[in-house]
Amino acid sequence: MRVLFCILSLFAALNLCGKEINIAYPKRPFNLQLIVMKKKGLLEKEFAKDGIKVKFHDITDGLKQAKAAATGKVDICGSVNTTSIIMATGQNIKLNIIRAVCNATDIVALMTTNPNIKSVKDLKGKTIACVSKCTMHQMLLEALARNNMTIEDVNYIPMTNAETYNAMFTGKVDAAILNTVEMVNAKKRGARVLTTGKGLMRIKLVVAANESFAQKHPDWVGKYVKVQNEAMEFIKNHKHEALQLGAEDIGISYQDAEWLYNNTNLINTLDKDDVNSLKEDIDFLFQQKLIPKKVNILSEAAAVDIYFENFVRDQISICAVRSRSVLAPFHCSSDNTLRHN
C-alpha cells in the first residue's frame, strides 16, 4: 500500500510538472483590475484548483509584451494598448484579444514646461519625446496631424516614460507625452497640458494572449476572464481598498489613485465606438507608415479576432478562443445579428 501511495504521489507530481501560466504585469497606465488580481491572489487561487502556478513578468512596453508573447515568455499580456497590438500584427505577431481593460484617453497627455509653447501649433521645430510604437506615439502623430504637421516638422526622440519625464524637466526636450504617474507628477510641478487623447483618438487597453497558447488552453483563458470579472466586482464593492492597493502598487497617494480611477474608464468589453476607432487607428498607422499593410483585426481569419456578443447592447465581449468555458463560438451575419455555431 505504501509503495502504491508513493507511485501515485510521484505520478501526480509529474503530472503537475510544468503547469505554469506566465502573465505580463505592466504598471502603466492605472491597471486596477490587474493590480487587484495580483495583490488579492485571485489568479493564484483560481489556477491552484488545477495545480497551475501563476508567474508575473514586469513588462510595461506594449510591443515588448507582444514579442514576449510571440516567443512564449508570457502567455497572457495583462494590459496592452491596441496600437501596439496593431503594430505587432503588422509584424506577423499573432495575438488573441480576450478581454478589455480600460479607455485611458484622459490619463495620457502632451505636456510642456516651456512658457513659450501655448498650443500644439507652437511645437513646430521643437524637440518632443515619448515612448515609441505605442498609443503615446500614435497620439503625438494624431496631435501633429490635427495641426497640419507631421513628425518631420519636429525633432522626435523616443524615450521611456521615466526618461521622457526627466528630459522635460531638465530642459532636454520642449514637450513630452506622459501618462498616469508621470502625468500627475508633472502637473504638480507646473507642467501644462497641451492636449490629452480626448478629441484625438480613443485610447484602448486590452488583455491579449499568445495565439498558440489560447488555442491550446482555452480553459485557462476562461479562468483568466473569470478572475478579471471577479476583480471588477471587487473594485465596485470595495473601491477604497482597491484604490489603496493601486496606490501602494505604483507608489502614489490615495488621492492620486482616486484621480486616476475617476479619469480611467475601466471596462471588460469594448463598445461599437471602440471597434470603429480600431479601424481608424489601422488606417492612420498605415498612412504614417508605422505598419507595412492594413491589417484586418476584426475578421475571423485575422491575427487578432474579435467575436461579438450582446451586440444589441452595443457591447462586444472580446474573446478569440472557441471554447465552451469562455464563449460559445459566434458568427456575425451581414445584418449584424448573432448566430451560434
Residue-wise pLDDT for 81-106, tens only, equals 999 999 998 888 888 888 899 999 99
CATH number at residue 221: 3.40.190.10
3-state secondary structure the chain: CHHHHHHHHHHHHHHHCCCEEEEECCCCCCCHHHHHHHHCCHHHHHHHCCCCEEEEECCCCHHHHHHHHHCCCCCEEEEEEHHHHHHHHHCCCCEEEEEEEEECHHHEEEEECCCCCCCHHHHCCCEEEECCCCHHHHHHHHHHHHCCCCHHHCEEEECCHHHHHHHHHCCCCCEEEEEHHHHHHHHHCCCEEEEECCCCCCCEEEEEEEHHHHHHCHHHHHHHHHHHHHHHHHHHHCHHHHHHHHHHHHCCCHHHHHHHHHCCEECCCEEHHHHHHHHHHHHHHHHCCCCCCCCCCCCCCCCCCCCCCCHHHCEECCCCCCECCCECCEEECCCCCEEEC
Which residues, in sequence order, are CB contacts of 219 under 8 Å at separation 6+? 323, 325
Domain shared by 207 and 81, yes or no: yes
Does 207 score more than 90 pLDDT?
yes
Confidence of residue 4 (pLDDT cuts 50, 70, 90): very low
Which residue, of 171, 196, 221, is where some domain finishes?
196
pLDDT band at 297 (very low <50, low <70, confident <90, very high): low
**Same domain as 136, residue 234:** no
Q: What is the pLDDT of residue 188?
A: 95
Q: Do residues 214 and 324 share a domain?
A: yes
Among 215-224, 270-279, 309-318, 322-331, which is the least confidently predicted range? Answer: 322-331
Residue 341: the pLDDT is 32
State the Cα–Cα distance between residues 276 and 295, nearest whole angstrom: 14
Same domain flag for 181 and 93: no
Do 36 and 75 sit in the same domain of this protein? yes
Residue 37 predicted with pLDDT over 80: yes
**Do 100 and 118 sit in the same domain of this protein?**
no
pLDDT band at 327 (very low <50, low <70, confident <90, very high): very low
**Domain of residue 147, residue span:** 106-196
The answer to whether 100 touches 207, Cβ cutoff 8 Å, is: yes
What percent of the chain is predicted at pLDDT more than 90?
A: 68
Whether residues 24 and 147 fall in one domain: no
74, 212: one domain: yes
Same domain assignment for residues 90 and 134: no
Q: Are residues 137 and 92 in the same domain?
A: no
The reply to whether 225 and 292 lie within a common domain is yes
How many structural domains comprise the chain? 2
Q: Which of 166, 196, 226 is the last residue of a domain?
A: 196
Percent of the chain with pLDDT over 70: 81
Last residue of a domain, one of 178, 196, 214: 196
Residues 135, 80: one domain?
no
Banded pLDDT at 237 (limits 50, 70, 90) = very high
Q: What is the pLDDT of residue 314?
A: 37
